[in-house]
Amino acid sequence: MIRKVLLIISIILILNFFASEAVFAQGETDSAIRFKSIAAGDFNTAAIKEDGTMVAWGDNKYNQCIVPPNLNDLKELAIGYGYIVALKEDGTVESNNDLGNNYIPPDLKNIVQISSTSDFICALKEDGSVITWGNNSYRQCNIPNDVNNVKSVSAGFEHIVALKSDGTVAAWGYNSEGQCNVPSGLKNVKAVSAGYGFSIALKEDGTVVAWGSNRYGECNVPDGLKDVTATSARGNHVLALKGDGTVVAWGCNYDNECSVPSDLKDVVAISAGGKHSVALKSDGTIVSWGNRSSGQCIDSSSIGIITSVCSGDYYNKYIVSNKRIAQMKYGRDDDNYKLSNVDFTDLKCISVRGTHVLGLKENGTVVSGGYNFYGEDDVPRDLTNVKAIAAGMNYSVAVKEDGSVIAWGRNSSGQCNVPADLKNVIQVAAYEGHTLALKEDGTVVAWGNNSSGQCNVPKGLSNVKAISAGKSFSVALKKDGTVVVWNVNDNSVYKVPNGLKDVKEISTGSDHIVALKEDGTLTAWGNDLFNQCYIPDGLNNVKQVSVGEEETLVLKQDGSVIGFKYPENNRLFIPNFYSTQTPQETYTISGYLSPDIVGLPQKSHLKSNINVELVELKRNIYTGDEGYFKFSNVPQNENGYTLRITRSGYLEREIHNIKPNNSGSEIGSAENPIYIWGGDINKDKSINMLDLILIAKLFNVNSTDGGKYIYNRDLNADNVINMEDVIIVAQHFNLTTVDYINDKLYDNNSIRELMLYNNT
């Protein structure tokens, strides 16, 4: 009997041991990032990780997806136009960029919730009061006197909806569509959400009420909808989370933002973006759908360490992660273009041209997806042992382990007619009508369309290590880091820039070339008609580059991805989801500015919109109506920083040698701000007779006088150009920028001297 008991105990212990090992092993292999909160913006998405740090991806035109290393302990996020605002666990509010920090009131604390959609922010305090800042064009920042005891707030497009503790709702601001006309008798509400011209209320019984604009059906709550636990509205659509973890959507569906994935379940949080939707699942992963124009719809469960990027036409941008494709931009998936039906897993590499996607798997087989107009996706059934691939416009090329080449698809220019004696090939390149092959001996062979001499390989070309093809030209990268380009016209725009060297990678679009240098920087040249040779200032630490028809993608050394076209367009950004933030010692530079006009109150529109530039870091922000500005996450600089202060009609001012310290550097105060002098109308850095003449020419003109009124001559912004503006000029007559205290060392102990100078 004792032996049986001991045997049973031993079996149980062994089973428990192996069960623990299995769980441990599963935890080791399951590397998906876990998130606890999400927020969707107009063209980007942000999320808080379990460790309290954030990541953001999508449109990065204003660096709104770049996360400062010291932004942590986060509780909630809100995305506005060009910025992300974060609520911290301690009840304070910060932003990840200067645009978001612009108007955050100083000493803001005890915040329990934040909301933002366009260019203003509202926050709920512990005591149930609401505070707002930012654009107030429709008085959305003017809190009604009877709005108190608030439980939650939601910012729409220029209007705000607030839920009070008694279950009633208040709304104010822009009311063009009746979005602020709360239905009579509405009560027992437990949550609110505001969209573009409409408002949503979730009642205690799990039903939803909507009012305001209904041009896209955003107020057509689905019949029978119940058991709703949360709602989210933005743009022109609504998401509703049900108690069973499923999601319902209605409203505008032009970008499939309401096309909820059929298998989506176990959802615990939702966030509606401008034209996309995001859901957080109980396992901490994120699912998103809708518009992909800026890469805002990355799903976290499909993203690991990013190993490569590939850019096709405007609709097709891909990253390779976990040996599989993650489509991140637009992502056509209509009846003729089904990438989802292709097994793009266990990949070694991919190649993309236009809408054609070719993948080489680790086992040496090839998969292909796209429109298949010319059989470019009809991979030969017996094709195996492949070591390299190239996707052309509507045709495909593969190199086998034995060095032979096979091509299929469109053959209008003989681009698929592989030379019979071609062998010992290690790489191929393809574009629209011609094909290149690089041989083991470093020589190049070309065939197909030769209308521009793109197949006329230069005599003696050798020691080549990489090749690439454009529409009417061919490119070779030599082992010594130099580049050779050939077509009919050697003096064309494709001519290699003088002195270009140390190149380690090349990539081509239809009409231009981008070279990645050993130092991680890029050089671009070619046809620049549409600014396709644009490279963002300061771009460095690039690991890989891929040029598409309209957009360039780069993979950086830190594992993040950047996509760009030309300056005025959105910049795509995908973070390294697995990176950990290393805290850095950074500082703040803040202060108060004001026009030198007697009698201004502490808050005045004259104090707002003063441009403050942190010169060395090329960062700028604008003051709020208290004249306050704040730069966060400023690194130490032994040489000090320069602030450049400008406002139209005022004399530019620079403050030098600002050295931030642990207590922060505050320049001026609310009571004694730094002054700027009015009167430099013509921006010649002096206030003189020329400025008075410009004012005299429009004397007594007011803002209602059609196109005659010019605001920078109305120095006191009273909507009329009159004697008061002349007096302001007279007060500072013959002063120049050098009359400011330019070279004084500013620290917290010497500010008073500046104040005294400004007030004399």
**pLDDT (tens digit per residue) in 167-208:** 999 999 999 999 999 999 999 999 999 999 999 999 999 999
Q: What is the pLDDT of residue 328?
A: 62
- In this prediction the pTM is 0.81
pLDDT class of 680 with cuts at 50, 70, 90: very high
Per-residue pLDDT of 43-93, as tens digits, reads: 999 999 999 999 999 998 888 898 887 789 999 999 998 899 999 999 999
Nearest to 391 by CA among 546, 505, 573, 523: 546
- Residue predicted with more confidence, 353 or 408: 408
Amino acid at 346: D
Q: What is the CATH number of domain 35-290?
A: 2.130.10.30
Query: What number is the average pLDDT over the span 402-428?
Result: 97
Q: What is the pLDDT of residue 491?
A: 60
pLDDT at 582 over 70: no
Q: What is the pLDDT of residue 283?
A: 93
Amino acid at 605: H
pLDDT at 526 over 80: yes
pLDDT at 257 over 70: yes
pLDDT class of 633 with cuts at 50, 70, 90: confident
Q: Would strands 189-194 and 169-173 be described as parallel, antiparallel, or unpaired?
A: unpaired
Quick one: tokens of 94? 């910060």
> Is residue 542 within 8 Å of 556, Cβ to Cβ?
yes
Query: What number is the average pLDDT over the span 733-738?
Result: 90
Rounded Cα distance between 597 and 730, Å, is 12
State the DSSP code for 717. Answer: -
Domains of the chain by residue range? 1-30, 35-290, 305-408+481-574, 586-758
CB-based contacts of 618: which residues, under 8 Å, 6+ apart?
A: none
Query: What number is the average pLDDT over the span 597-607?
Result: 87
Rounded Cα distance between 391 and 370, Å, is 11
| pLDDT, mean over the chain | 87
Q: What is the pLDDT of residue 315?
A: 61
Return the percentage of the chain with pLDDT > 90, whole number: 60
Q: What is the pLDDT of residue 754?
A: 35
Rounded Cα distance between 425 and 242, Å, is 58
Query: What number is the average pLDDT over the span 351-355?
Result: 87
Query: How many helices (H) and strands (E) in the chain?
Result: 5, 53
Q: What is the pLDDT of residue 13?
A: 36
Flag the least confident range among 199-208, 222-231, 244-253, 603-612. Answer: 603-612
Q: What is the pLDDT of residue 581?
A: 62
Q: What is the pLDDT of residue 745?
A: 30
Per-residue pLDDT of 653-664, as tens digits, reads: 999 989 887 767
pLDDT class of 404 with cuts at 50, 70, 90: very high
Query: What number is the average pLDDT over the span 18-41?
Result: 56
pLDDT at 29 over 70: no
Check if CATH label 2.60.40.4130 holds for domain 586-758.
Answer: yes
Q: What is the pLDDT of residue 170?
A: 98
Q: What is the pLDDT of residue 550?
A: 74
Rounded Cα distance between 653 and 676, Å, is 7
Q: What is the pLDDT of residue 755?
A: 31
Count how many residues are written for the chain. 760
Query: What number is the average pLDDT over the span 408-423?
Result: 97
Query: What number is the average pLDDT over the span 125-136?
Result: 93
Flag the least confident range among 7-21, 67-81, 255-269, 462-476. Answer: 7-21
pLDDT class of 449 with cuts at 50, 70, 90: very high
Strands (E), 334-460: 347-353, 356-361, 366-369, 386-392, 395-400, 405-409, 425-430, 434-439, 444-448
Per-residue pLDDT of 485-512, as tens digits, reads: 998 776 678 889 999 999 999 999 989 9
Query: What number is the average pLDDT over the span 156-165?
Result: 96
Q: What is the pLDDT of residue 286?
A: 94
pLDDT class of 306 with cuts at 50, 70, 90: confident
Rounded Cα distance between 647 and 255, Å, is 41
Q: What is the pLDDT of residue 568?
A: 52
Rounded Cα distance between 616 and 613, Å, is 9
Return the percentage of the chain with pLDDT > 70, whole number: 89
Q: What is the pLDDT of residue 154?
A: 97
pLDDT at 9 over 60: no
| Within this chain, domains 35-290 and 586-758 share the same CATH topology | no
pLDDT at 7 over 80: no
> Is residue 643 within 8 Å of 623, Cβ to Cβ?
no
Write down the residue that tokens 């005022």 correspond to: 650
Q: What is the pLDDT of residue 697?
A: 92
Flag the least confident range among 104-108, 243-247, 315-319, 709-713. Answer: 315-319
Q: What is the pLDDT of residue 570?
A: 54
Query: What number is the average pLDDT over the span 719-743?
Result: 86
Q: What is the pLDDT of residue 15?
A: 31
pLDDT class of 314 with cuts at 50, 70, 90: low
Q: What is the pLDDT of residue 583?
A: 62
Q: What is the pLDDT of residue 125?
A: 97
Write down the residue that tokens 């209007």 correspond to: 159
